[in-house]
Amino acid sequence: MEPVKTRRSRSATGLSSRSQAFPDLFQELTMADVAFVVTMIAVFALVAVIARGVAKL
């Protein structure tokens, strides 16, 4: 049997070879961050609209 070769060096992006096994993970995490930010903006906009409506009462 051949010995298993592992890469322990870091790539140009600073990520280890272990993260290269999941190439879409970074993109998925980025999309999750974007979705979170958009959701928070929408929530705060809704709260602002509700606050304006309450202030007019």
Residue 31, domain extent: 19-56
Q: Is 12 within the bounds of a domain?
A: no
Q: Is 6 within the bounds of a domain?
A: no
Mean pLDDT by 10 residues, the chain (57 residues): 60 54 79 96 98 93
How much is the pLDDT for 17?
54
Q: Is 45 within the bounds of a domain?
A: yes
Q: pTM for the whole thing?
A: 0.56
Q: How many domains does the chain have?
A: 1
Please give the angle made by the CA atoms of 8, 10 and 14, to the nearest 5 degrees.
145
Q: Is 46 within the bounds of a domain?
A: yes
Q: Is 40 within the bounds of a domain?
A: yes
Q: Is 49 within the bounds of a domain?
A: yes
Tokens 């999941």 sit at which residue?
Answer: 22
